[in-house]
Amino acid sequence: MSHHHDHALKIADLTVSYARIPALHHISFEVRCGQCVALLGPNGAGKTTLLKTLAGLVNRESGTIHFHGREVKGATPDIAYLPQRGQIDWDFPTTVRGLVEMGRYLRLGWYRTYGADDDRAVNLAIEAMDLGALQGRQISALSGGQQQRAFLARALAQEAHVLLLDEPFTGLDKPNQDNLKATLRKLRAQGKLLLVSHHDLPSVAEIFDRVLLLNGELIAAGPTAENFTDENIRRTYETSVFSGV
């Protein structure tokens, strides 16, 4: 598998508003494939908005997003968004394999039909996430950790380079959290860029090599050792820059 450490995701002067109230204000940063980045900030800081904007699910008011030298104007198969588990309709009638196959349709677009290569990619993704024995199971019957792995498998089948995870550790017990940490390490070693919104501050240094501290605007960004400081944490979790957001 080729490494994609030269692949940079560059965000410049990104502003996103809801009903003319800024949710994200002039955000600029650069992250690269082969990094595991924590997105930190209080509730209402704009973390989910940032992830959804990068995934092309929310329109931006201004600013640019570039990946690997090309401007990203909307949804792209290179970027996969994994929503919070509470946002997903788990009663949707599909199996684990059916969910993972959806990742291929994002890659295929409307023009190509699903073929042997797609089947291979789905098989590899299911194997990578250790879901072989569960692939025929309805997603509603999965545990929290299995649900998380099924969505990661969908992103792998999509052959996304950038994985945006929205609070993936929420609601997982300790063994499943440990499992997810190991999975994130494995994906980083394969050259994926992982951008993960996260609220458990004590575990940040163990899991993430870089941090983005956000509260409406970007407070700090860069290597965890240099940027995850008491001062930056205090500035991030103080009252919001935008009153009422």
Q: pLDDT at position 238, please?
A: 85
What are the percentages of helix, strand and coil residues in the chain, rounded to 5? Answer: 40, 25, 35
How much of the chain, in percent, has pLDDT values that exceed 90? 79
Can you tell me which residue has the tokens 């992250």?
Answer: 31
When pLDDT is averaged across residues 82-87 and rounded to a whole number, the result is 88
Residue 239's pLDDT band, with cuts at 50, 70 and 90, is low
φ/ψ of 56, rounded to 5, equals: 80, 15
**Calpha distance 46→153 (Å, rounded):** 26
Q: pLDDT at position 3, please?
A: 47
Question: pTM score, two decimals?
Answer: 0.90
Q: pLDDT at position 242, please?
A: 47
Contact (Cβ atoms closer than 8 angstroms) between residue 137 and residue 95: yes
Q: pLDDT at position 4, please?
A: 47
| Structural tokens at position 41 | 């900030």
In the predicted model, is pLDDT for residue 25 greater than 70? yes
φ/ψ of 190, rounded to 5, equals: -85, 0
